[in-house]
Structure 1
Amino acid sequence: MDSRHFLQTALVFLLATVIAVPLTKRFRLGSVLGYLLAGIAIGPQELGLISDTGGVATISEFGVVLMLFVIGLELSPQRLWVMRRQVFGTGLLQVLGTSLVLGIAGFYLFGLTLNAAAIVGSSLALSSTAFGLQILAERKEAGTPYGRQAFAILLFQDLAAIPLIAVVPLLAAESTTHGFNPWIVARTVGVIIAVVVGGRYLLRPVFRFVAKTDAIEVSTATALLVVMGTAWVMELVGVSATLGAFLAGVLLADSEYRHDLESHLEPFKGLLLGLFFISVGMSMDVSLLFQQPQMVALLVIVLVSLKGALLWPLGRLIGGLDRRDSLRLAVLLACGGEFAFVVLKLAREQDLITPTQHGLQVLAITLSMAFTPLLVALLGRVLGSKPRKTRAYDTIVADSPRVIIAGYGRMGQIVARVLRAQGISFVALDHSVEQIDLVQRFGNTSNIFYGDPARPELLRAAQIEQADVFVLASDDPEASLRTARVVRRLYPGLKVVARARNRQHAWRLMDLGVELPVRETLYSSLKMTRMTLEALGMSAELAADRVERFRRHDAELLKRQYLVYDDDARILQTTREALADLDQLYQADAEPEAERERLKPTHVTPDDQDVTR
């Protein structure tokens, strides 16, 4: 390919992407559909701007390899263990049940061979992770019961795609040799074991050696070398290259270099994965939609209805969802997914399915993905949101409060009880009707009011200008940050004491000028640690000293990491350095002379007792 033709091809790809992807995302149809439409438009069947579809497909397949590697990086054993019941319960049943039903339908209704039916049924059982997670995020339903269940199922589907991709060449070999070939299976297993064992003992030393060079470009090159090298070894012995990339990712999932690798590969993965979906669109036989519209419509209806019909009882019986959430789960995951394109393309190349069968299935998957956002939106309008109690904001009657408490949950109530006992006037605001109703059942609510503390007019009604302290005790990090922005902008001189969910939340509050946010679980954890040390036989004084030293050390670490909290690599580095420093500190404390000096009575300053550190 000459340079002029290469530049022309690159410009066509970029122009099609810039036009199609923003349009589909604007209508909440997802970027995957935008890439597919861009490929259809510039492909040989429509505008004919790109003719070398084979060359494009070869390059774009590396995007799938990188995607599988990144998925492997994210699948740490700890994460899977926490979600084991949902992932390996509902997820496993969904994939097995849907694969079986769709495979039987393909064998009896559409005349597929047994091996082809098994591959097609399994690939169609996978839903679109990109569409599902995007829709949940846009509708702010990722934290709902059905959202968490959908995430678990999608996570298992990503796992199931790996062996499915690996088994396609085996089924193709079996269909050509008319029997089971134990040599192929043994070779595959042997190569996988060799990659796992070799990677376990070679990869970490290699990355440790490269990290010492402190050169970003070398780290990126090493990451690409690992992915491409493992994929090449697997492909050399007749195993899927994507399986090798996935194994390489899994081997590094618990490595300290995981985040660094992911940051280096993310730009390559995004671009090449988009190129892959464009190549799928270019290879789509759109004429089939006009030549066999009834067959395409039947495939879409069978796919969506059968998957939905199987997902609904799984959500009800296994996932413990109510009828409404089970229906939402079924509609969200009833479409086909990105991995089906990968599996079906491989099946076509291995002659398990014909080009016409491949074209019809790709069209059906694409249409099911296109209809999903529309069906979810329609279902949302039909079902509506769960009924919530609504009422107008309370009229606030207060007499020059010294403290304003935003959020009257667990922590806000404790602050209020102490202030009331001390005779300090305060006003508490909470945006939850249920919480206010619950509090009112116990009386003593003369200064507790319903309202959104992020609204300036409500703060003025609470006489915030008379207050000395603003206590930000909301348990919702986003609501907390929203309120903090308003208070810091309108009342910059007001002292803010803020509750933080975790370190990331604390750093974002510090960005807004909130000094030393109180992490909600830190001090209870320190108390438990002290009690544990005492239960093990350590004296109360020594246990208190050990815990206090850790608290101060962690407070300093929080401040240091705040300066680099948007840099994952620096966060990992400072964490490792802090662990080493803490070990040295405790070792020095163990010296007899230091032990006697430390246990001498000393004057405790108020700063030492500041629990906000």
Structure 2
Amino acid sequence: MAAESHASHAVDLAPVVILLGSAVLAVPLFKKIGFGSVLGYLAAGLVIGPFGFRVFTEPTAILHVAELGVVMFLFIIGLEMQPSRLWSMRKDIFGLGLAQVGICILLLSWVGVALGYSPQTSLVAGTGFVLTSTAIVMQMLQERGDLAKPRGQKMVSILLFEDLAIVPLLALVAFLAPGGGEVTLMERLQGVAIGLGCILGLVLAGRYLLNPVFRILAAARAREVMTAASLLLVLGAAWWMQLGGLSTAMGAFLAGVLLSESSYRHELEADIEPFRGILLGLFFLAVGMSLDLNVVLGNWEIIALSVIAFTLLKAAGVYGVARAFRANHREAVERTVLMTQGGEFAFVLYAAALAVGIIDPEGSAMLTAIIIVSMLMTPLFVLIHDRLMPEVEVDASGVETPADVRGTALLIGFGRFGQVVSQPLLARGYTITTIDNDPEMIRVAGQFGFKVWYGDGARLDILHAAGAHHASLVLVCVDDQAAATKIVELVRHEFPNALLLARAYDRDHGLELVKAGVDYPVRETFESALKFAHAALDRLGEPEDAITDALDEVRRRDEERFALQLTGGSFAGRELMFGNGGGAVPLNARKAEPDAEPGGG
């Protein structure tokens, strides 16, 4: 009886296992053949949904939960919308992006009207196709090596504007909802006032409340509490805006923007990212389950005609805007090929339109099919483009590259050591991203004009959020030996191309750091002790040449002892710099003598 009772209350894990298993199998397969993860999720949902193996027969139940993934996605987008970044890209985002979206909406909205649908339905259908797939375009730009090039940056700017545009477009869907004529002017004004009040309340909370709260939570050093607080922030902001009759997505986006300059931005992004990824993948799975194949087969002529019409009109709009903004023919064609598909935000827009009655379930299934087909066609378009218009090799011989290019450095630990290290780099114009896990230090640094982000450098997700994968130089300046070693090992394993410098406590720690993969360890007291000795000899009346020779001899002997200890391991063939003013010497070229001070500074 006990066994039967236990079995009756056991959780049925089979659907969960199948849901996760289908994604784990489909996504890598689709990415391998060049179709991207989004299409992998959609295909997996279709296979296990009501029109496949019928593992799930009510995808709407999953869709309601999975919409939280879209909410978190918009929060992450908001975190990336710092005012400084928006300002530097303002011409491309709000010029090029606005022009492309506006022209394409005007062109594509007539497709539905021509097919006999109402203007409201046609506008929503066309607008959904205007929103390009961020996942597909970003992936292809990265694979083609164009992400950091000017032509790639212009496409990124357009995608940023489209990501921003989803918020007002969702508001437009709510405005176009049937039944608007039954609402009196006073009721509409009251609703607007409540919505504005909710926005104002969220702005005030973000400005005066969130940073102090996160400072207190960070001081407690309980990671699970910070994660819970991050989720509370996103869901709370979405719920607050929902109470005001506005979009939950708008609430999450505004919360992200308000925290984009916060010292806790990287911590928030790292905490939310796993939930965002899982729930967004679940959202696409649910969309794939919702694809009604009976509707698709019954209306294949309209779907095929719509795909052709939408693609051609959007291609014309994208190409025309690109040329109007002085892109050459080759760049305009490439942008057109990459951006003529519909995107994942179309599913969000169509789901909102279905919820308020602008489109019916059959129309939603048809529009979803149109978007999916256009996404499937994109890799084919790119393949044809690359065959017909191969990349032109540019002869760069004899061209001098700029000598003053400034790379990006990531500095971990902003204590006494890190503060001094940062100043010469900043003086020479280098960009430094600084993280520290001491909330009080971050607050004090902010009073002196330093921007320090909160985060633990020993966490891989924090390093990614802080841009370690883009940094050409990583400086580990923490004053905790164990933490420094852990960070060095993590950085060297995950970001092997970055130049890695680290602060060492003493000789033993320096050896440990080199074996962990650091390129240049600096013992924190060595140079200061030599400077101290210089001052002592100078005040004893020693000539400057004699002082310099004595200090150089100490450095030389120290380098030799360090090299000898290191070559006792497996690093004899590696060229590293150990000189503190003495110059770079390959380890395998050094003559070493026994070390009489194994634990020396």
TM-score bracket, shorter-length normalisation: 0.5 to 0.7
User: Per the alignment, do residues 187 and 359 of structure 1 end up closer, same or farther by CA in structure 2, a change over 3 Å counting?
Assistant: same
Matched, 1:169 2:171: no
The aligned runs of 1:401-550 (5 Å cut-off) are 434-435=396-397, 437-438=398-399, 501-503=407-409, 524-525=428-429
Matched, 1:324 2:330: yes
Matched, 1:183 2:89: no
Out of 106, 125, 128, which is 1:120 matched to? 125
TM-superposed deviation, 1:28: 0.9
Out of 211, 231, 250, which is 2:238 matched to? 231
Out of 65, 69, 73, which is 2:71 matched to? 65
TM-superposed deviation, 1:4: 5.2
User: Per the alignment, do residues 362 and 321 of structure 1 end up closer, same or farther by CA in structure 2, a change over 3 Å counting?
Assistant: same
Check conservation: 1:129, 1:337, Cα contact below 8 A: yes
Check conservation: 2:111, 2:306, Cα contact below 8 A: no
User: Per the alignment, do residues 285 and 313 of structure 1 end up closer, same or farther by CA in structure 2, a change over 3 Å counting?
Assistant: same
User: Per the alignment, do residues 160 and 15 of structure 1 end up closer, same or farther by CA in structure 2, a change over 3 Å counting?
Assistant: same
CA distance in 2, matches of 1:328, 1:353: 33
Residue in structure 1 matched with residue 375 of structure 2 by the alignment: 369
Residues 420-458 of structure 1: CA deviation (Å, up to 9, x unaligned): xxxxxxxxxxxxxx23x357xxxxxxxxxxxxxxxxxxx
Tell me the secondary structure at the aligned position of residue 558 of structure 1: strand
What is the letter of the counterpart of residue 79 of structure 1?
A: R
* Between 251-260 and 230-239, the greater mean CA deviation after superposition: 230-239
TM-superposed deviation, 1:56: 0.9
Out of 460, 475, 479, which is 1:558 matched to? 475
Residues 309-336 of structure 1: CA deviation (Å, up to 9, x unaligned): 1111211221x32111100101111100
TM-superposed deviation, 1:610: 4.8
TM-superposed deviation, 1:53: 1.7
**Sequence identity of aligned pairs in percent?**
37
Residue in structure 1 matched with residue 165 of structure 2 by the alignment: 160
Residue in structure 2 matched with residue 200 of structure 1 by the alignment: 207
The aligned runs of 1:588-607 (5 Å cut-off) are none
Two-structure CA RMSD over aligned residues (Å): 3.7
TM-superposed deviation, 1:90: 0.5
Matched, 1:84 2:90: yes
CA distance in 2, matches of 1:7, 1:602: 81
Residue in structure 1 matched with residue 263 of structure 2 by the alignment: 256
CA distance in 1, matches of 2:131, 2:228: 33
User: Per the alignment, do residues 233 and 213 of structure 1 end up closer, same or farther by CA in structure 2, a change over 3 Å counting?
Assistant: same
Residue in structure 2 matched with residue 110 of structure 1 by the alignment: 115
Check conservation: 1:69, 1:249, Cα contact below 8 A: yes
Out of 46, 56, 60, which is 1:54 matched to? 60
User: Per the alignment, do residues 388 and 254 of structure 1 end up closer, same or farther by CA in structure 2, a change over 3 Å counting?
Assistant: same
Out of 108, 133, 142, which is 1:137 matched to? 142
In the comparison of the two structures, how many residue pairs are matched? Answer: 445
CA distance in 2, matches of 1:173, 1:133: 36
TM-score (norm 2): 0.68
Residues 316-370 of structure 1: CA deviation (Å, up to 9, x unaligned): 221x321111001011111001111001001001101111111111100011011
Matched, 1:297 2:320: no
What is the letter of the counterpart of residue 408 of structure 2?
A: N
Out of 152, 157, 162, which is 1:147 matched to? 152
Residues 383-436 of structure 1: CA deviation (Å, up to 9, x unaligned): 0011344xxxxxxxxxxxxxxxxxxxxxxxxxxxxxxxxxxxxxxxxxxxx23x
TM-superposed deviation, 1:285: 1.1
Check conservation: 1:38, 1:281, Cα contact below 8 A: yes
Matched, 1:266 2:183: no
Check conservation: 2:178, 2:358, Cα contact below 8 A: no
TM-score (norm 1): 0.66
User: Per the alignment, do residues 26 and 178 of structure 1 end up closer, same or farther by CA in structure 2, a change over 3 Å counting?
Assistant: same
User: Per the alignment, do residues 65 and 610 of structure 1 end up closer, same or farther by CA in structure 2, a change over 3 Å counting?
Assistant: same
* Between 128-137 and 46-55, the greater mean CA deviation after superposition: 46-55
Matched, 1:334 2:316: no
Tell me the secondary structure at the aligned position of residue 212 of structure 1: helix
Residues 232-257 of structure 1: CA deviation (Å, up to 9, x unaligned): 11112321111111111111110000
What is the letter of the counterpart of residue 50 of structure 1?
A: F
CA distance in 1, matches of 2:205, 2:335: 41
What is the letter of the counterpart of residue 393 of structure 2?
A: P
Tell me the secondary structure at the aligned position of residue 15 of structure 1: helix
Tell me the secondary structure at the aligned position of residue 225 of structure 2: helix
Check conservation: 1:475, 1:501, Cα contact below 8 A: no
Check conservation: 1:500, 1:520, Cα contact below 8 A: no
CA distance in 1, matches of 2:224, 2:87: 35
Residue in structure 2 matched with residue 351 of structure 1 by the alignment: 357
Matched, 1:244 2:251: yes
Tell me the secondary structure at the aligned position of residue 503 of structure 1: strand
What is the letter of the counterpart of residue 336 of structure 2?
A: A
CA distance in 1, matches of 2:8, 2:365: 31
What is the letter of the counterpart of residue 23 of structure 2?
A: T
Tell me the secondary structure at the aligned position of residue 220 of structure 2: coil
What is the letter of the counterpart of residue 302 of structure 1?
A: A
Matched, 1:286 2:286: no
The aligned runs of 1:302-317 (5 Å cut-off) are 302-317=309-324
Check conservation: 1:68, 1:246, Cα contact below 8 A: yes
Check conservation: 2:97, 2:157, Cα contact below 8 A: yes
CA distance in 1, matches of 2:222, 2:424: 39
What is the letter of the counterpart of residue 72 of structure 1?
A: G
Tell me the secondary structure at the aligned position of residue 163 of structure 2: helix
CA distance in 2, matches of 1:336, 1:2: 46
User: Per the alignment, do residues 10 and 125 of structure 1 end up closer, same or farther by CA in structure 2, a change over 3 Å counting?
Assistant: same
User: Per the alignment, do residues 475 and 371 of structure 1 end up closer, same or farther by CA in structure 2, a change over 3 Å counting?
Assistant: farther
CA distance in 2, matches of 1:285, 1:602: 90
CA distance in 1, matches of 2:257, 2:427: 35
Tell me the secondary structure at the aligned position of residue 13 of structure 2: helix
CA distance in 2, matches of 1:281, 1:611: 64
Residues 177-217 of structure 1: CA deviation (Å, up to 9, x unaligned): 37763333332222212211222211111111111110100
Tell me the secondary structure at the aligned position of residue 313 of structure 2: helix
CA distance in 2, matches of 1:349, 1:602: 86
Tell me the secondary structure at the aligned position of residue 48 of structure 1: coil
User: Per the alignment, do residues 256 and 293 of structure 1 end up closer, same or farther by CA in structure 2, a change over 3 Å counting?
Assistant: same
CA distance in 2, matches of 1:80, 1:171: 30
